[in-house]
Amino acid sequence: MSDHPTPQSSSSDHDQEHTGQPGLPDQTKPKISNTAAAPANNPAQQRQRAIHLAQAVRHELQKAVIGQNAVIDDVLTALIGGGHVLLEGVPGLGKTLLVRALARCFGGEFARIQFTPDLMPSDVTGHAVYDMQSEQFKLRKGPLFTNLLLADEINRAPAKTQAALLEAMQERQVTLEGRALPVPQPFMVLATQNPIEQEGTYPLPEAELDRFMLKLRMDYPDAEQELEMVRQVTRSTRSDMLEVHPLRTLMQAKDVQALQRIASDLPVDGQVLDYAVRLSRATRTWPGLTLGAGPRASIALVRGGRARALLRGGEFVLPDDIKNCALAVLRHRVRLSPELDIEGRSVDQVLKQLLDQVPAPRQ
C-alpha cells in the first residue's frame, strides 16, 4: 500500500534476544518468573513476591546499563504504574540499550520503530491489504500491537505520525478501517528523543506529551561509572555497546500485570493523596510557570508513588514516594515563562523550588 520504508519491527529481534540461553541447567534458570502471578491466600505474601521480582529485574538491568540507576528505577516505576516513558538524552548514554535490556528481562512481545520524516501513520498502526485469493481486504496489524514498544527518535516523525500513538497510549486500542482493535496487555511505549539536535525534528504536541506518565532525562555518568562502562564495553564483542544476551528473562506479561495489580492495592493515606493533588495544582499558579499540570499529573503522581513504594519494599505509600517521582511526572506538563527562559533557568530548577516549598504531610 505504501512505498515508505517499513518500520523496524520486533519479531526477529525478539526471537534472537530470547533464545540466547538454550539448555541452561535447572539450577541456573531464574526461579522467580511468575512468582508475582502465583496464587496465594495471603496478600502480604503476594506483595513480598512482587517486591522480590521487581528488585530482581532492577538488579538485572543494572548489569547492562551502567551509571543510570535513577533512570532504571523511573522506568520500572512507569512499568509497574502502567504508564509510558519519554527518554531524553544526548546520543551514547544508553537510551536504546535500556529499552533493549528491559525487553530482554521481559518475556512478552517487543517491537521497535525507527521514526523518520517519511514514516506514515499506517506504518505504525497497520493497514488493510487486498488478498488476491479471497478477493477481500484483510487487516495487517502494525508494530504497535505489542507489549513493549520502542519509539526511537520519536520527534523525527511529523505530528500526524506521532498522533498515531495517541489512541493506543490512552485507550489501549487502535482503530483500523473503522474497527477498534485492542493492543496486547500490558502495553508500554518507551520513546526516545535527542534534545540537542533539533534540525529536522518535530516538537511533540502537548496532548501527546500529557500521555507520557514520566519524562526522564539521562545525564552523563560520573567518572568512576564511565570508567567501568568503558572497561565492560571494550571487552564486549560489539564495538560500542554492551550485550544484553547475558541478562535473564525474569517475567512474562502476566507477571507485569500482577505487579501492576498489587501496586494499585497499596494503601494511600488521605493526607498523602492530598499532597499529590496540591503539588499538581501548585504548578498552575507558581511564579515562572505559564502553563500548569492538569489532572493527569495528579493521577500519575499517585500511580508513581505506589510503584515506588513497591520497589522499595514498602507496605504503604509515603510522601517521599510521591516527591521522588514528581520531577519526572511534572517536567513535561508545565511551561517555563519567557522571562526565566531568557535568564537561563530550567523547568527542573523551578520545580525543585516548588517541591521544597509545598509542605509534605508529617509522617
Cα(73)–Cα(79) distance, rounded to whole angstroms?
10
CA 7 to chain centre: 20
Which amino acid is located at 335 in the chain? R
> Rounded to whole angstroms, how far apart are CA atoms 297 and 355?
14
Give the pLDDT score at 197.
Answer: 62
Q: Report the C-alpha gap between 295 and 303 in whole angstroms.
A: 13
CA distance 242 to 239: 9
3 state SS of 129: strand
Please report, for the chain, the start and end positions of each structural domain, with discontinuous segments joined by +: 1-24+33-265, 266-363
Look-up: residue for cell 516505576?
77
- In CATH, the architecture of 266-363 is Orthogonal Bundle (1.10)
Phi, psi of 79 (to 5 degrees): -65, -45
CB-based contacts of 352-357 (< 8 A; 24+ apart in sequence):
352/327, 354/279, 354/282, 354/283, 354/286, 355/279, 355/323, 355/326, 355/327
Cβ proximity of 104 and 16 under 8 Å? no
pLDDT of residue 336: 92
Cell matching residue 212: 507520557
pLDDT at 199: 64
The dihedrals phi and psi of 27, each to the nearest 5 degrees, come to -70, -15
Per-residue pLDDT of the chain (363 residues; tens, 9 = 90+): 444 444 444 443 433 333 333 333 343 444 444 444 445 568 888 899 999 999 999 999 988 888 888 999 999 999 999 999 999 887 777 788 888 889 889 888 888 999 988 999 888 888 777 777 777 777 788 889 999 999 988 888 888 888 888 888 888 888 887 788 899 899 999 998 877 666 667 788 888 888 999 999 888 878 887 888 788 777 766 655 566 777 888 988 899 999 999 999 999 999 999 999 999 999 999 999 999 999 999 999 999 999 999 999 999 999 999 999 999 999 999 999 999 888 888 999 999 999 999 999 975
Domain 1-24+33-265 has CATH 3.30.465.10: no
Is residue 319 a contact partner of residue 272, using CB atoms and an 8 Å limit? yes
User: Cell numbers 514498544 correspond to what residue?
Assistant: 149
Q: Are 52 and 32 in contact (CB under 8 A)?
A: yes
* Secondary structure class of 180 (helix, strand, coil): strand
Distances (CA, A) of 277 to 101, 173, 246, 292, 328: 34, 29, 42, 12, 16
**Which grid coordinates are listed for 226?**
564511565
